[in-house]
Structures are given as C-alpha cells and as structure tokens.
Amino acid sequence: MKRRTAVVVAVILGVVLIAGGALTLWLLSRPTGPEATAAAYLSALERGDGPAASALSDQRAANAPPVAFDALAGASEWITDASVGSVARDGTDASAKVSFTLSGGTHDATIGLSNASGAWLVTVAPAVAVVAKSTLGAGIVVGGDAGDSRSGGGSGSPGTAGAGSAGIAMPFDESGSVTIGLLPAVYEVSAAPAGLLEGAASVVAIGPAPIEIALDPVLGEAATAAAQTQFTAYLAACTAPTTTVPSACGIRVPWAADLATLSGLKFRIDVAPALVLAPDGSGFAATGGTLIATATGTTDEGTEASFTYRDTEWALRGGIAFTLDELVLEVW
C-alpha cells in the first residue's frame, strides 16, 4: 500500500512540475514590457497574422473588433519596416509611438497599452474606421478573393498579399452602410455577393480620420448565369401539373370560356422566355416565351373534356434582391 501511495504521489508531482514548467515557458515567451509588446504586435501586422495580433490585444479595445483581425489575412498588402519609437509610461498604462511603410509611404501611429491584467496588452490599436456604401448588394466583402467569405488570420511574409484568403462579408445596416474597424493594410472592398457583383475599391487603411467609400458595382457574367439557373428552376415549378392556374408565373389560361369547372392543368414549354437582367440590377424581364396549356374539366353540359391553349407572348417580370451570398429573382 505504501509503494502504491508513493507512486501516486510521484505521478502527481510530475504532473505539477510539467504544468509549472509549461506555465513558466508561457510567461517567459510573452513580451515583458510595453516596448516588446508593441514590437511583437507590429511584427504580427507585418505578417498579416491576425490571431497573433489578437493574442497581444485587450479584447475590450473598441477600435479593433475581432473582425479586424479576421480581415487582416485577406489584405492585398501588409505593412513593412515597422519600428517602435518612444514609449511613455503612466503607471500600468503606456503609449508607444510607432512607424511603418504602407502603399509606398511612411506613416506614424500611436499604440496604447496597459498592464492592468498582469501582462502588457494593446488597448488602442492603430486601426481606422471604414464606412462603406454601395448602389447594389446586401453588404460588403473586405479583402481576399472575390466570391469567398472566411474568418481567420494569415502567416505570410511582411508586405506580401494574403493570396488565396477569402474575404470577410458584412451586411449593410438599416442606413444602407456598414462600418468596420480595419488594421493598417491595403484591402480590396467589394459589394456582396462578391463574384456576382463586379467593381471593387482599394482602401489604404490609415487613420485617424474615418475613410468613406462608395461602391458602384455592376452585375457580372456570374450573376447572369446564376439568375438563369434560378429562373429555369422557377419555370419548371410554374409548369408542374396542377389544378389551378399558378400565380406569379405570367400564365394565363382562358379555361372558363370552355369549361364550367377545372379539374387539372398540364403545361408544355415550347419556347422558354428569354431572361434579361437590367444593367443597373433593378429588375429583370423574361419575354418571347411560348407556352402550351391543356385544361381538363367539366363542361356546362356536365361532360368531361380537355382543351388546349397556346400563349405565344408568355412573359415574366420582377425585381432583383441580394443576400450576402446570392442573387434572388422576385417575380411580380
């Protein structure tokens, strides 16, 4: 019994020593002063490493929300030649003057830090507010390859773009705009759904003044293809066998001229209406269709009969709506 107790105690002591060693290593690996924290933070920005920059930040820092660190990996250019200048301390607070190169120019900024939690963390990031509006779309996509959305950071080389990284999609608010805090880098900002809407703006995220951008995108070829796929499926649903004339399908069947009651309808698309999207994305028109409809029912004499009707001017019209991911046809 004593031997088993000794073994258990030894195991517990071993676990404690390992945990203590890991804690010591973690503490030693963290920056030990505001200068070191500011330098490590700038190094993370140079690599486009959002998670590393976030780990050195006080998450209560309002000017750099989590999405700012997520968007960093998708930037088209990161800062280079970053350095920490003078650092002023005031108890557990500090302010570091920093400089870096971005988009061909040298820029100065200030980083606020605090040691209130026992480790120096960034409390005021060198971020800038970007306010974006668009004439089309449901929101914006910041950074990355058009058509993608993502979260997460990068780990590239200073100054190089986050090739292959997807963008961060954000919806418009009730005012029709979206405001996002971005860390210093160059970002491509496009309207969402990206890939369907073409036309982006390049934003050099340098403060302190807010940056306003107005996007004026157009429908791309991918939007036309996506709309056609959706429209084809819609026509198939409209022309499925039924017992009533379907609504919002542009279908007119004058069965009442020949039948007292209608018991069934069958359709055949002879020529599908040709879909055309308005260039400004305001709506669509599909015209030139030919539809064959066969109505079955009871005549005034009480006999069952079928009649066939041909509409050579079958057409549908409607509006276009957007989500962050897709285009939606809304038939009137």
In tens, the pLDDT along 305-318 reads 999 999 999 999 99
pLDDT at residue 88, as a whole number: 97
Residue 83, pLDDT above cutoff 70: yes
Q: What is the pTM of this model?
A: 0.79
pLDDT band at 117 (very low <50, low <70, confident <90, very high): confident
Residue 46 CB neighbour total at 10 angstroms: 21
Beta strands 274-277 and 304-322: pairing type?
Answer: unpaired
Average per-residue pLDDT in the chain? 87
Report the run of H or E that residue 132 belongs to, with start and end: strand 128-134
pLDDT digits (tens, 9 = 90+) for 217-239: 999 999 999 999 999 999 999 99
- The two structure tokens encoding residue 103: 């988009």
pLDDT at residue 277, as a whole number: 97
Residue 147, pLDDT above cutoff 60: no
Residue 62, pLDDT above cutoff 70: no
pLDDT at residue 64, as a whole number: 83
In the predicted model, what is the mean pLDDT of residues 282-302?
97
Q: What percent of the chain has pLDDT over 90?
A: 79
Amino acid found at 268: R
CA atoms of 212 and 164, how far apart (whole Å): 26
pLDDT at residue 207, as a whole number: 84
pLDDT digits (tens, 9 = 90+) for 24-35: 343 445 567 999
In the predicted model, what is the mean pLDDT of residues 164-192?
91
The dihedral of CA 155, 157, 159, 160: what is its sign?
A: negative
Report the run of H or E that residue 244 belongs to, with start and end: none
CA atoms of 54 and 74, how far apart (whole Å): 16
In the predicted model, what is the mean pLDDT of residues 194-204?
94
- The two structure tokens encoding residue 249: 């399908």
Prior bond of 241 cis (ω within 30°): no
For the ranges 21-30, 169-178, 295-304, the lowest mean pLDDT is seen at: 21-30
Q: Where are the domains of the chain?
A: 31-216, 221-331
- Which strand ranges, in their side-by-side order, compose the sheet holding 128-134? 177-182, 128-134, 211-215
In the predicted model, what is the mean pLDDT of residues 79-100?
96
Residue 263, pLDDT above cutoff 90: yes
